[in-house]
Chains A and B, each alone.
Chain A
Amino acid sequence: MKIAIGIAIAGFLGAVARYGAGFLFPYDAGSTGFPWATLFINLSGSFLLGSLTGWLMRRNDLAWLGEVFGTGFLGSFTTFSAFNGQMWQLWEHHAYAQAMSYLLLSAVGGWLLAMVGLRWGRGKPL
């Protein structure tokens, strides 16, 4: 029960942080603007979750931190539904180059950042 309350609070904060980050990079869904805010959120969140997961491999006593900060906060902070919504909107506006760049930056960039984070968290050189 305690873990569920922690996850609910972390999920609240993660969503608000995502909403707030949207103001840093204004994005108009009605145009072909590039979704920088979501890209920044998803890339930084992937690096942080990689680092946390790597670090927790050395700290078996802190599994709750992985659930609350990892699954709760970072899981809520990052988003796949908005990513696909934006992919659709770019596609609909025939902004194929932007859609492909967005897909590659999110999918490959986030993957690499998660790998770097995992290594760093485990105490290995970057």
Chain B
Amino acid sequence: MNTLWSALLVGFGGSIGTLLRYGIGRLATANGKPGFYGTLFVNLTGSLAMGVFIGLQLEQEHLEIYAIAGIGILGGFTTYSTLNVQKATMFAKGPKRTLVFYLVATYVGGFVFTASGVGLGYLIHT
């Protein structure tokens, strides 16, 4: 697979993932939820899906699908910049309990979701 073609696949997936993340963020705030709910949702579900892809050996066995779905869609769907700006904003103002909840849910939750996804992926793969 040449580099230009993979870059196009990654970009195409990135558009889809980004639009989904934007839509979910809009939906969360439209329902009166705090802004970080949307980010937490995309980051946790995206980490679960990344784990499944690792378990399925997608990067080793189906590189084109991995370029669209793994690097493109999941990379565009999940985000780290918004997470860090939210951490900074919540630290400056707002209840510290919410910040602690957000940190634990994101980092512990993200790792547990990825690990569970890997297990699930292995089961499907073998």
Tier of interface size on chain A: 35 or more
Alpha-carbon distance between A18 and B118 when the two chains are bound, in angstroms: 23
Neighbouring A residues of B92 by C-beta, 8 Å:
115
Q: Closest Cβ of chain A: how far from B114's Cβ, in Å? A: 4
B74 / chain A contacts, CB cutoff of 8 Å: 79, 81-82
Give min CB distance, B47 to chain A, whole Å: 4
Q: Are A80's CB and B80's CB within 8 A?
A: yes
Chain A interface, >50% SS class: helix
Instruction: Find chain A residues with CB under 8 A from B81 CB.
Output: 42, 45-46, 48-49, 70, 74-75, 77-78, 110, 114
Residues of B bordering A, CB below 8 Å: 6-7, 10-19, 21-22, 25, 43, 46-47, 49-51, 53-54, 59, 70-72, 74-85, 87-89, 91-92, 103, 106-107, 110-111, 113-115, 118
A-to-B contact residues, CB < 8 Å: 4, 7-16, 18-20, 29, 42, 45-46, 48-50, 53, 67, 70-72, 74-85, 87-89, 103, 106-107, 110-111, 113-115, 117-118
